[in-house]
Amino acid sequence: MTISDEHLTANYGRFPVEFARGLGTRLWDADGHEYLDFLAGLGVSNVGHCHPAVVAAIQEQAARLIHVGNLFYTAPMVALAERLARTSLGDGTKVFFTNSGAEAVEAALKCARKAKQGGDVVSLHRAFHGRTYGALSATPQEAKQAPFAPLVPGFRACEATAAAVRAAVDDRTAALILEPVQGESGVWPLDDAVLAAAREACDAHGAALIFDEVQCGLGRTGSLWHFEQSSVVPDLLTTAKGLGGGLPVGALIAGPEYAGVFAPGDHGSTFPGGPVIAAAAHAVLDVVTDPRLLARVRELGERLRAELAALPGVGEVRGAGLMTACDLTAGGAPELVRRALLEERLVLNATGPATVRLLPPLVISDAELDEALTRLRRLLSP
Ligand SMILES: *Cc1c(COP(=O)(O)O)cnc(C)c1O
């Protein structure tokens, strides 16, 4: 076993488990014990671990060309941009690749501010947009922001209600950024009325509406993009987590109104859109655009929430598709998650003292869903 914190920065609360192998919804530790993964690397491994098509795409592309940088074209990158643009914000959409979700958010903020020649950024209570300075400034959580003050100027937050959003956006607003389903704070799907109010307010004041779909996009909630289930189309869309099948990638997708904002020299990065990651993303998109898979995600999500609600000690259950959280009436979510991992070999996540989050791979079987519920029932039974 190689469980050691000697040379690792102490910024993560790691569990004492060393994973060595994965396949589909299963993980194996270094001693060969099998786990059921209902976290998927924080909503990354949507197509399951080591999906054979993703593995093959990576292996084949790695043997051909790994990196040339962004002064040149590669076929996987150009085709991936086309695919993301065509399936998202309509004619004239353009894609800027990044290495992560936070960087996609940074790009969105820079794009919106350049378009407005300055201006404020409004985000919502309970939001999470990442850890870099711009993204952190749009993440109104005292514990995450306070140690790193001063933050970027011109950011403020409002409640996630239609009235609050209308009041917060004015003529100086460059962007309103929101997660249509708030993930890190405990899975809070926003009402369609809030999204509609956000769209109206941004239109009225010439602000960019940014949907951060880093977690809720790419099939997680039962449609390729979550906004497809609402009445609203954003101006800017961020994606990341699930896009590379486990490899680091992100993208800012800019709709027609904002696609021309960045000019040569405005923004850039060394690695993004590299051919290996783009090849992996194509294999991922083949899986997560399948209408049968998306229908199954919606069905399984409904069943998961109904069965969670019937477990002892479970209060409110929230979610969309296979992005789900449940509150424990007696609290103790971090302890439950720890016991689930160590006693039941079920990988879960606690987003707070009373909230357990479940983000299984989208390819789970009915039997795996039943098995996870059986393990949870054992843990929750008095
Ligand atoms: C995870 C997440 C991010 C940050 O992504 P990183 O790849 O960790 O930088 C941003 N927004 C949302 C909604 C996320 O869930």
Note the pLDDT tens digit of each residue in 149-189.
Answer: 999 999 999 999 999 999 999 999 999 999 999 999 999 99
DSSP 313-324: TEEEEEEETTEE
Helix runs in the chain, H state only: 40-43, 52-62, 75-86, 101-116, 133-137, 142-145, 162-168, 192-205, 275-288, 291-309, 333-343, 366-380
**pLDDT-based confidence at 382, cuts 50/70/90?**
confident
Q: Rounded to the nearest whole angstrom, what is the distance from the C-alpha of residue 1 to the centroid of ligand 1?
A: 30
Question: Contact at 8 Å (CB) between 346 and 375?
Answer: yes
State whether the beta carbon of 214 lies less than 6 angstroms from ligand 1: yes
Same fold, 19-50+295-380 and 54-288: no
Q: Would you say 118 and 152 are in contact if contact means Cβ atoms under 8 Å apart?
A: no
Q: Is the CB of 215 under 6 A from ligand 1?
A: yes
Q: Which atom of ligand 1 is nearest to the CA of 238?
A: 11
Give the model's pLDDT for residue 178. Answer: 98
> Separation of 41 CA from ligand 1 center, angstroms?
12
* Active site amino acids: 128, 212, 241
User: For 327-372, what is each residue's pLDDT tens digit?
Assistant: 999 999 999 999 999 999 999 999 999 999 999 999 999 999 999 9
pLDDT bracket for residue 1 (50, 70, 90):
low
Per DSSP, the three-state class of 214 is coil
Angle between helices 291-309 and 275-288 (to 10 degrees): 70
Which protein residue has the closest C-alpha to ligand 1 atom 10? 129
CA atoms of 266 and 195, how far apart (whole Å): 30
Ligand 1 pocket check for 186: Cβ under 6 Å: no
pLDDT tens digits for range 50-66: 999 999 999 999 999 99
| Tens-place pLDDT, residues 184-236 | 999 999 999 999 999 999 999 999 999 999 999 999 999 999 999 999 999 99
What tens digit of pLDDT does each residue of 66-92 get? 999 999 999 999 999 999 999 999 999
159-166 long-range contacts (CB < 8 A, ≥24 apart) are 159/124, 159/125, 160/124, 160/125, 160/126, 160/188, 160/190, 160/194, 161/194, 162/191, 162/193, 162/194, 162/196, 162/197, 163/197, 165/122, 165/124, 165/194, 165/197, 165/198, 165/201, 166/197, 166/200, 166/201
Distance 96 CA to ligand 1 centre (A): 16
Contacts with 29 (C-beta within 8 Å, 6 or more apart), sequence order: 17, 18, 19, 20, 35
- Across 107-118, average pLDDT: 98
pLDDT higher than 70, residue 101: yes
Domain map (residue ranges) of the chain: 19-50+295-380, 54-288
How high does pLDDT run on average in the chain? Answer: 97
Among residues 11, 5, 49, 75, which one has the least CA distance to residue 361? 49
Range 1-24 average pLDDT? 92
In the chain, % of residues over pLDDT 70: 100
Which residue, by CA, sits nearest to atom 5 of ligand 1?
Answer: 101
CA 108, CA 131: separation in Å to the nearest integer? 15
pLDDT greater than 60 at residue 257: yes
Q: Which tokens is 29 given?
A: 């530790």
At the topology level of CATH, where does 54-288 sit? Aspartate Aminotransferase; domain 2 (3.40.640)
- Classify domain 19-50+295-380 at the CATH topology level: Aspartate Aminotransferase, domain 1 (3.90.1150)
Centroid of ligand 1 to alpha carbon of 376 (angstroms) = 27
Q: How many angstroms is it from 334 CA to the middle of ligand 1?
A: 21
∠ CA 313-179-351 to the nearest 5 degrees? 30
For the Cβ of 24 lying below 6 angstroms from any atom of ligand 1, the answer is no
Place 2 in a pLDDT band, splitting at 50, 70 and 90: confident
Nearest CA to ligand 1 atom 15: 215
- pTM, two decimal places: 0.98
183 lines ligand 1 (CB under 6 A): yes
